[in-house]
Amino acid sequence: MEIRQKIKAYLLRLLTNKKNILFDVKKSKSVLILKYDRIGDMILSTPIFRELKTAYPDISISVLASKENRDVIKNNPYIDKIYTNYKNNIFYDLPTLLRLRQKKFDVCIELEHSVIPHAIFRLKIINPKKIISIHKEGRYGVRGSELKLYDYFTKKDKKSHFSKIWLDTLIFFGINTRVNKYDFFISDSERDRAVNFTQSMTKAIKIGINLEGSFKEKRIQKKQLEQICIGLYRNNNNIKIIILSRPEKALIINKIISELQLDFVISSYKTNTINDAAALVEQLDLIITPDTSIVHIAGSFDKPVISIHEKNPDSFRLWSPISSLSRTVFSPREKGIIGFDVSKVIKFSNDLIKEIS
């Protein structure tokens, strides 16, 4: 095992070795940011695009996104070009990576916390002049500082939110800001559809409830949904509850709503993309959701939000809501939200309804 570890360490050092190029990143004309993972991660990354473009208006910003999260930034005015990456198949990505290599980027910003082989392979192919990354602990006994592929690392940060940790990559451009407001730009057609859906509810308090989390233990169950809806209605009958759902869940959601037999609870229109969902969230007054991308979409529009989070202080620190009005209900479990206190969701929701009424 020790020999195998040493071989892996040797190969890692070899793979991440490169010649140093003298170049001042503050003179960069082109930057590529790698963020090809989940929707929520992309939302938390958006302050980077805005703050970099604001400080350097003439810089060209490209993003290597995933098929899942690229819609988050498709209308973002701070981004000049979006490329799609499929991180589980580097050979499928090879034509795109070779095109990126031809662009001869001045700087790549990589936001992985760990030493990720597929990210290293991609950076080696793209071959920018300089690479900036957040702090890495290292791997196979190799310290992050020994990875010569990376020219700059941010300082280790165990106290901040992910949005702040990622934003710190701009320090090397001379940008030191704590403005971590998210950006989510939606089109006129996406907004018009949401407005048309909600315009008949103008006098009601519009509450969006998202049932889905990133895995099944993070779901709000039917019985819990029923308790939340009835509890909210008892306190204020001037409400309309809209159940948010992905298209593939529409039949299940409609069945649940039908079985609830509550005329103040309806399903959202078919939100085919995350932008459709964001446009609807923008029109609502309060959001109730497990810890997932909907929390961060709500933060983009500063919508009051009740989040339901697993009992994990570090996870909450990194992913906590940034809406100016927010409350969080913690489950008794370290993984998932099974057993969360429904009465707290109702109480916190009623408290926020009073503040916005």
For 264-325, give the secondary structure using H, E and C.
CEEECCCCCCHHHHHHHHHHCCEEEEECCHHHHHHHHCCCCEEEEECCCHHHHHHHCCCCCC
Low-confidence ranges of the chain (pLDDT < 50): none
**Looking at the structure, do residues 12 and 151 belong to the same domain, yes or no?**
yes
**Looking at the structure, do residues 166 and 198 belong to the same domain, yes or no?**
no
**Looking at the structure, do residues 168 and 199 belong to the same domain, yes or no?**
no
Q: Would you state the pLDDT for residue 141?
A: 80
Q: Would you state the pLDDT for residue 227?
A: 97
Give the length of the chain.
357
Q: Would you state the pLDDT for residue 36?
A: 93
Structural domain contains residue 126: yes
| Cβ burial, residue 216 (10 Å; 0-12/13-18/19+) | exposed
CA dihedral 64, 65, 66, 67 (to 10 degrees): -110
Q: What's the total number of domains in the chain? A: 2
Q: Would you state the pLDDT for residue 247?
A: 82
Q: Would you state the pLDDT for residue 320?
A: 96
Last residue in a domain, options 173, 208, 223: 173
Structural domain contains residue 316: yes
**Looking at the structure, do residues 62 and 152 belong to the same domain, yes or no?**
yes
Pairing of strands 286-290, 305-309: parallel
Q: Would you state the pLDDT for residue 333?
A: 93
Q: Would you state the pLDDT for residue 293?
A: 95
Structural domain contains residue 202: yes
**Looking at the structure, do residues 192 and 131 belong to the same domain, yes or no?**
no
Give the structural domain span for 197.
188-356
Instruction: Give whole-number Cα distances, 6 to 1, 2, 18, in Å.
Output: 9, 6, 20
Place of tokens 């969701």: 345
**Looking at the structure, do residues 44 and 146 belong to the same domain, yes or no?**
yes
**Looking at the structure, do residues 244 and 133 belong to the same domain, yes or no?**
no
Structural domain contains residue 180: no
Q: Would you state the pLDDT for residue 240?
A: 97
**Looking at the structure, do residues 47 and 122 belong to the same domain, yes or no?**
yes
**Looking at the structure, do residues 343 and 219 belong to the same domain, yes or no?**
yes
CATH number of the domain enclosing 83? 3.40.50.2000
**Looking at the structure, do residues 243 and 309 belong to the same domain, yes or no?**
yes
